[in-house]
Structure 1
């Protein structure tokens, strides 16, 4: 039960980590990598922005390794929470919102529509300043109104 709680808490904390990373690193010091994500899309399969998947995966991989070496202790389940959030992020951000794969294109789900609206507001700013809606899974309620 304790390890499941560690997993869930880690998953939820990752939304806060993502918000802070997105606002202060991606739209700050690491804008070079995130810039192409805010520009009109071309036929490229990958963006420089995809480097953030590697950055976020690294601690998860290390925690898996060191947590399994220690007999699957809490570090392993923290790594699992980070991995689960990364998969959710990929599914929500890249598949549902940006349609890198054309699934859920015509959804009527209010939550998914709200996510898309909030992210669209984020992307209306082509520069790194004046951004809004830096979270991914939890967005302001005003975007869920129809």
Structure 2
């Protein structure tokens, strides 16, 4: 396999991982896999949470693909496994470090894109249960105003200090109370 085809497969895999992550987050983590993911929606005690097992689980296919590609003489599998691994690295850097600050830092993103993704993820955490939340992707999110409208229209789940969340996410909005 030539390098350009490999790189194209790598980039395609990273992009498709966002679709996979959305589906897994919405229907597995907020569905039958809530037992592990719930820890991510609660205050963490210590460096790790049960939700971190998802990183271990999702690393398995990447490792298997890379090994299968290397030892099975199928280079395409290496590129796919590397794409999955890259998505995991992007996720860890963005979600765990930038958004949740699991490693202390003082950097505050200034780009509109990063601010929107961070706000979308905060809105995802505004609901205290597995039902009624919004924004399940990690690298793409609808505009914050759309997410706010969706969150308010659903009326599902217990919303954490809804007026506070609304003011933080949309300072120009009028929120009673």
TM-score by length of 1: 0.92
CA distance in structure 1 between the partners assigned to 2:121 and 2:86 by the alignment: 21
Query: Which residue number in structure 2 is paired with residue 77 of structure 1?
Result: 79
> 5+ unaligned residues in a row in structure 2: which ranges?
146-168, 172-177
Higher-RCO chain (CA-CA 8 Å, sequence separation at least 6): 1
Per-residue deviation, residues 95-127 of structure 1 (Å, max 9, x unmatched): 010000123543322222111100010001111
DSSP-derived class of the 2:96 partner: helix
1:118 to 117, 120, 130: 120
CA distance in structure 1 between the partners assigned to 2:104 and 2:28 by the alignment: 29
Query: Which residue number in structure 1 is paired with residue 93 of structure 2?
Result: 91
8 Å CA contact 1:114–1:145 kept in 2: the answer is no
2:36 to 26, 33, 47: 33
Number of aligned pairs? 145
2:6 to 3, 8, 21: 3
Q: From the superposition, tell whether residues 145 and 71 of structure 1 become closer, same or farther in structure 2 (CA, over 3 Å).
A: farther
TM-score by length of 2: 0.77
2:15 to 8, 12, 23: 12
> 5+ unaligned residues in a row in structure 1: which ranges?
none
8 Å CA contact 2:119–2:144 kept in 1: the answer is no
